[in-house]
Amino acid sequence: MVSEGLNNNSPSWASILGVVAIMLGVFLTAVHSNEAMKQMVIVEHMPVSGIMPEADCPEDELEEEGISVAECEYLIDHVKGIAMSAPDWFPSAQATLSLVGAALAFVSIIIGGALVNYTPWASKAAVAVFTGLAAIDLLQFAAVVNTGPTLREVYLGGILLWFVLHLMLLVGAVAGRHTEASA
Amino acid sequence: MQRQGFNRTAVILHWLLAVSIFFLFISSWWMMGLPLPSPELQFRAFPFQLHKNIGITLVIIIFMLLYVRLRHRPAPVDSTLMTPSMNALSILVHVLIYGLVLAVCVTGYMSSAHTRWDTVWWWSIEFPRIAAPDEEMNEFWGELHTYVAWALLGIVAVHVSGAIYHAFRNDGIVRRMMRW
């Protein structure tokens, strides 16, 4: 005997939007969390003087990592480049936005599940959360635009892609609400 | 009486596992691009320890998930919704995911166990050393860890594709794992 418990009458738009929101939400929670960690780790471990020590590239480590001496030295220059390109305000701003983004992305997983189950509050909550995620993208975009070419090259493409995805989710949720209203 | 969907604890554990797996992939690609450790450069210390913490936690989560799934089995999927071959593929993918997650965690731990770095789980529980530092063994387990991780990513892609396929068909199958 099978109990009730699943709403099998949800419209296709809610099912598809919900699953896409969940998939992107899972990925974005990881992306934003990693970004927050990046900012904290780089700031915390940069030498106070800003002068990086010589690269330490023992042969056994190079073999294990599968990298050349040149790449080993570049790893230091790369981190230094990122740190030097960031204005003083950038790491804390980026970490804060990423942490809020990670929280919203996690909520979007729950909202996605609610959409799939077509709970009464799902579409309204989806509009709010997707708006929040798009706003985070816009704020990150604005922050990165106000840095230099190095960070713009690193971040802008990815942020723009996420903004477009969140815009599509938002428009999908708004269209779903309109469909609900006219039904 | 069986529920149509999975037990709520199983749902929560499943999504926690999903977020953790993606975080481990994304953060590992970044942390491997950090400078090699030296007394002056410790960029890798925190991300590597966090990677190990989450990896070990995943083993606990996966056993909890297996326990909950076996103890509270949902009703079988309606045979009109899935062909026998699709059902077999679904079971195979699930078994592979469980197996590969465990294999990734075990190979990662074995690789780490052969380094000179200790494992202090969530910076509070010190794991006893199970092996002396050994560069060759570290490399062996490390490579295995990488290959198994790629295999896991491939199988996860199949799993996600299946979920999206059922979402587009709106046949109610994805709803089984989305009960809040």
Q: pLDDT digits over A22-38, tens only? A: 999 999 999 999 999 99
Which pLDDT score, from 0 to 100, does residue A168 have?
A: 97
A117 CA: distance to closest CA in chain B (Å): 6
Measured between alpha carbons, how far is B129 from B117 in angstroms, rounded to an integer?
10
Residue numbers in B near A47 (CB within 8 A): 40
Q: Domain of B115: which CATH number?
A: 1.20.950
Which pLDDT score, from 0 to 100, does residue B59 have?
A: 96
Which pLDDT score, from 0 to 100, does residue B20 have?
A: 97
Average per-residue pLDDT in chain A? 92
Which pLDDT score, from 0 to 100, does residue B57 have?
A: 97
Distance of CA A137 to the CA centre of its chain: 8
Residue numbers in B near A44 (CB within 8 A): 46
Q: Does B36 touch chain A (CB under 8 A)?
A: yes
Residue type present at position A161:
L
- The domain limits of chain A are 12-45+87-182
Q: pLDDT digits over A61-73, tens only? A: 898 888 999 999 9
Which pLDDT score, from 0 to 100, does residue B180 have?
A: 63
Whether B60 maps to a domain, the answer reads: yes
Measured between alpha carbons, how far is B94 from A174 in angstroms, rounded to an integer?
35
Q: From A119, which residue of chain B is nearest by alpha-carbon distance? A: B180
Instruction: Say whether A1 and B1 touch across the interface (CB within 8 A).
Output: yes
Instruction: Say whether A52 and B41 touch across the interface (CB within 8 A).
Output: yes
Helix (H, G, I), strand (E, B) or coil at B67: helix
Residue numbers in A near B34 (CB within 8 A): 41, 75, 79
Q: From B141, which residue of chain A is nearest by alpha-carbon distance? A: A64
Q: Domain residues for B51?
A: 8-76+83-177
Q: pLDDT digits over A38-97, tens only? A: 999 999 999 887 788 888 899 888 988 889 999 999 999 999 999 999 999 999 999 999
Q: pLDDT digits over A149-161, tens only? A: 999 999 999 999 9
Tell whether the model's pLDDT for residue A116 goes beyond 60: yes
B102 CA: distance to closest CA in chain A (Å): 20
Q: Does B172 touch chain A (CB under 8 A)?
A: yes
Instruction: Say whether A7 and B175 touch across the interface (CB within 8 A).
Output: yes
Which pLDDT score, from 0 to 100, does residue A6 have?
A: 53
A84 CA: distance to closest CA in chain B (Å): 15
Instruction: Say whether A38 and B30 touch across the interface (CB within 8 A).
Output: yes
Measured between alpha carbons, how far is B117 from B139 in angstroms, rounded to an integer?
14
Tell whether the model's pLDDT for residue A181 goes beyond 80: yes
**B172 vs A6, A16, A60: nearest CB:** A6
Q: At what angle do helices A90-117 and A122-145 cross, to 10 degrees?
A: 160
Which pLDDT score, from 0 to 100, does residue A5 have?
A: 47
Residue numbers in B near A12 (CB within 8 A): 168, 170
Residue numbers in B near A30 (CB within 8 A): 19, 22-23, 25-27
Q: pLDDT digits over A121-169, tens only? A: 999 999 999 999 999 999 999 999 999 999 999 999 999 999 999 999 9
How many structural domains are present in chain B?
A: 1
Residue with tokens 């995805």: A165
Residues in Cβ contact with B19 at an 8 Å cutoff, skipping those fewer than 6 apart: A26, A29, A30, A106, A109
Whether B21 maps to a domain, the answer reads: yes
Whether B132 maps to a domain, the answer reads: yes
Residue with tokens 């960070």: A151
Specify the DSSP element, H or E, that contains A140: helix A122-145
Residues in chain B with pLDDT values less than 50: 1
Residues in Cβ contact with B4 at an 8 Å cutoff, skipping those fewer than 6 apart: A2, A3, A4, A5, A6, B74, B75, B172, B176
**Using alpha carbons only, what angle is made at residue B158 by residues B107 and B56, rounded to the nearest 5 degrees?**
25
The two structure tokens encoding residue A131? 């708006």
Nearest of A8, A23, A7, A12 to residue A111 by alpha carbon:
A23
Q: What are phi and psi of B131, to 5 degrees?
A: -155, 155
Tell whether the model's pLDDT for residue A7 goes beyond 70: no
Q: Does B140 touch chain A (CB under 8 A)?
A: no
Taking residues A174-178, what's their average pLDDT?
95
Ranges of H-type helices in A46-121: 59-65, 69-85, 90-117
Residue numbers in B near A33 (CB within 8 A): 23, 27
